[in-house]
């Protein structure tokens, strides 16, 4: 399992960056307090798309969990991977060993899943502590967050292999920011006109948010498996794409 060596290298590199690592926990928690306390005071309660009426903090917590899984995965799989691919040429050095492009792809994706899972677990604990989780199904929110991280890190890394300079990351922001703002994160899908609703439902973050919200609010049905399938397929396509692209770029 040479992919495990790629993870080992990242653990080694991150040992000195533990402060940055720890602060990663803080960000989604800030969002939760700000939206829950501040905006919550203005909105009071929300009726979800499934028909339950909940406090705003409870409504928004699953969406923040999904978004932070997305953001963490994107950060790891885009900026960090781009740096190692184009500037530090870390991968080129690694490919001079028995490690191959597929090991690189699997290792990097697995690493961002591990980080994502740790962040998600911490956020979930805070959400439980402030009473924003209504159901025991909420325990499954953690593995669900891993699926979200899988989809975004694989696709993000795939996109990164096409980047030519750091300027191209403007396009990543251009894709991520609207998803963060519109994937039924801050207000229910029902707020949209019908045409827009279909558009929103096509985005990966929407499926992540809907999955987390279903689990944390206990609105559980077979439909949730559809969201899981969407994320898993996206992750699979991304992972295959990444190892092909790395082979093309580094073994020419």
Partner 1 sequence: MAALAVLDYFWVVYRRTWRGSVMGRFASPLMFLGSLGLGLGSLVDSASGGVNGVSYLHFVVPALIATQAMWVALGESTYQVMAYIKWNRMYRAMLATPLGVGQVLFGHLTAVAAHLSVASVIFVGVCAALGTLSGWGLVVCIPLAVLTGMAFAIPLFAVTATLDSDEPMSIIFRLVVTPLMLFSGTFFPIDSLPVALQGLAWITPLWHGVELCRAAVLGGAGPGLVAAHLAVLLAYVAVGAWAARRTFTRRLVP
Partner 2 sequence: MSDVLVRARGLTKRFGDFIAVDGIDVEVRPGEAFGFLGPNGAGKSSTMKMIGCVSPVTSGELQVFGMDPATHGPAIRARLGVCPQEDMLDGELTVEENLWIYGRYFGLSRREARARAQGLLEFAQLTDRRSDRVEPLSGGMKRRLTIARALISEPDLLLLDEPTTGLDPQARHVLWDKLFRLKQQGVTLIVTTHYMDEAEQLCDRLVVMDGGRIAAQGSPRELIERHCSREVLELRLDPVVSATGTTGAARGVELLGEAFGERLGERVEVLPDRVLVYTDDGEAALEAAHARGVRPISSLVRRASLEDVFLTLTGRTLVD
Residue numbers of the site for partner 2 (CB under 8 A)? 2, 5, 8-9, 12-13, 16, 88-90, 92-100, 250-252
Q: Tokens at residue 70, please?
A: 């997305």
CB 33 within 8 A of CB 126: no
55 bridge partner residues: 45
Q: 52 with 188: CB under 8 angstroms?
A: no
Minimum separation from the CB atom of position 229 to partner 1 (A): 27
Q: How far is the CB of 205 from partner 1 (least distance, A)?
A: 13
Burial of 239 (0-12, 13-18, 19+ CB in 10 A): buried
198 Rama class: left (phi>0) / alpha (psi -120 to 50) / beta: alpha
- Min dist CB 100 to partner 2, Å, is 6
Q: Which does 53 bind (CB under 5 to 8 A by kind): partner 1, partner 2, none?
A: none
Residue with Cβ nearer partner 2 (228 or 250): 250
Chain residues that interact with partner 1, rule: CB under 8 A: 17, 19-20, 23-24, 26-27, 30-31, 33-35, 37-39, 41-46, 56, 167-168, 170-171, 173-174, 177-178, 181-182, 186-187, 191-192
Q: Identify which of residues 12 and 41 has a Cβ nearer to partner 2 in the complex.
A: 12
Residue 45 belongs to what H/E stretch? strand 45-47
Of 82, 84, 153, nearest to 117 (Cα)? Answer: 153
In the list partner 2, partner 1, none, the entry touching 96 (Cβ below 5 to 8 angstroms by class) is partner 2
Rounded to a whole number of angstroms, the minimum distance from the CB of residue 248 to partner 1 is 24
The residues pairing with 47 across neighbouring beta strands, listed in sequence order, are: 53
């Amino acid at each position: 399992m040479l992919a495990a060596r790629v993870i080992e290298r990242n653990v080694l590199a991150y040992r000195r960056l533990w402060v940055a690592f720890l602060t990663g926990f803080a960000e989604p928690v800030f969002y939760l307090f700000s939206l829950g306390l501040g905006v919550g005071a203005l909105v009071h309660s929300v009726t979800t798309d499934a028909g339950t009426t909940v406090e705003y903090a409870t409504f928004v917590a699953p969406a923040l969990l999904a978004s932070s899984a997305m953001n963490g995965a994107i950060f790891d799989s885009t900026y960090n991977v781009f740096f190692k691919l184009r500037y530090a040429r870390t991968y080129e050095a690694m490919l001079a060993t028995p490690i191959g492009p597929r090991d690189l792809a699997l290792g990097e994706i697995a690493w961002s899943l591990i980080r994502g899972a740790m962040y998600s677990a911490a956020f979930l604990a805070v959400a439980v502590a402030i009473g924003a989780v209504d159901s025991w199904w909420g325990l499954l929110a953690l593995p669900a967050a891993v699926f979200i991280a899988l989809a975004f890190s694989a696709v993000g890394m795939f996109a990164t292999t096409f980047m030519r300079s750091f300027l191209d990351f403007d396009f990543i922001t251009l894709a991520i920011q609207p998803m963060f703002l519109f994937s039924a994160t801050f207000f229910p899908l029902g707020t949209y006109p019908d045409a827009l609703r279909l558009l929103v439902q096509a985005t990966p973050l929407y499926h992540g948010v809907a999955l987390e919200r279903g689990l944390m609010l206990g609105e559980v049905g077979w439909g949730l498996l559809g969201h899981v399938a969407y994320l898993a397929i996206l992750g699979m396509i991304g992972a295959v794409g990444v190892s092909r692209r790395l082979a093309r770029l580094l073994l020419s």
